Amino acid sequence: MIKLLSHVFEEKMVDFIQNNELNFVEELGMMQIWDQPLIGVAGASDPLWKKLNEPNVVGPHHLTPKEWLSEARSVISYFLPFTERIRSSNRLKGLPSKEWLYGRYEGEIFNNSLRRLIIDVVEAEGGNALAPALDKRFAVVNHVSNWSERHVAFIAGLGTFSLNDSLITNLGTAGRFGSVIVDLEFEPKLRPYQEVYEYCTKCGECIERCPPLAVTENGKNNEHCSQFLDKILKLNNPRYACGKCQTEVPCEYKNPKSI
């Protein structure tokens, strides 16, 4: 029987974000990284999974939920929005702020712990779960992974894409996504959109914000973006990030087309 995502999951995630020490950066005065998340659910048999294999979407190397976990029934996807302190620090043009660099690096360490927490909750409920980002089969080919968290979130009803390839949610674009594949069957979240770029106003402000000029009216040049991030890594090893196209834009912390 299909059931709604248990409040146990949401309560555990909320508590983890509010109280886990990994969500706070001691070096920056106990700066909090993430605010409360948006949570979505996709069915493991949704026909859009096969759509991701098309060359102009993600590519043939992208694996479906059932290829990661043969008994998969649902995919839990979530968006972690950066706090105001991190977002506001990165609004100036130029190099990424120190807060944003820590948010991206330490924030993903927290994100991995959140993935593990969800797996633990699923197993406590008697199910099996797998987070592709933590799996040894996870790989990146030509700047594109075989499990795209943004495309997963699109299928799970969390948002649509922008010119800079970010996903616009009802809490904006400035944040990170995560997901866990489970063999429990939950009711999929309704996708309140039809088109891939439905939430994007095509205002072009992210084009002006991009330091390496990787974003154009026709989309983003991933190679130019990657080369710029390589430079940031050399300056701030082990941290690297940019996020200029996600800050000081209309979709930074909200859906610009929401009523």
Instruction: Give residue-wise pLDDT tens across range 23-53.
Output: 999 999 999 999 999 999 999 999 999 999 9
Distance (Å, rounded) from C-alpha 39 to C-alpha 75?
11
Q: Who has greater pLDDT, 43 or 219?
A: 43
> Is 190 part of a structural domain of the chain?
yes
Domain contains 2: no
Domain assignment present for residue 238? The answer is yes
Domains: count for the chain:
1
Calculate mean pLDDT across residues 112-123.
96
Residue 155 resides in a domain: yes
Does residue 131 lie within any of the structural domains?
Answer: yes
Q: Is residue 256 part of a domain?
A: no
pTM of the model: 0.95
Q: What is the pLDDT of residue 129?
A: 97
pLDDT value at residue 258 = 78
Place of tokens 């998340």: 37
pLDDT of 9 > 50? The answer is yes
The whole-number pLDDT of residue 185 equals 93
Q: Which residue has the tokens 């929005």?
A: 81
CB contact at 8 A, 77 and 158: yes
Greater model confidence, 185 or 219: 185
Half-sphere exposure of 139 (CA within 13 A, CB side): 8
Q: 191 lies in a domain?
A: yes
* Inside any domain, residue 253: no
d(CA 83, CA 67): 35
Domain span holding position 89: 7-246
Find out whether 74 and 182 touch, Cβ atoms under 8 Å: yes
Q: How far apart are CA 201 and CA 83, in angstroms?
A: 24
Q: What is the mean pLDDT of the chain?
A: 94
Q: What is the mean pLDDT of residues 130-146?
A: 93
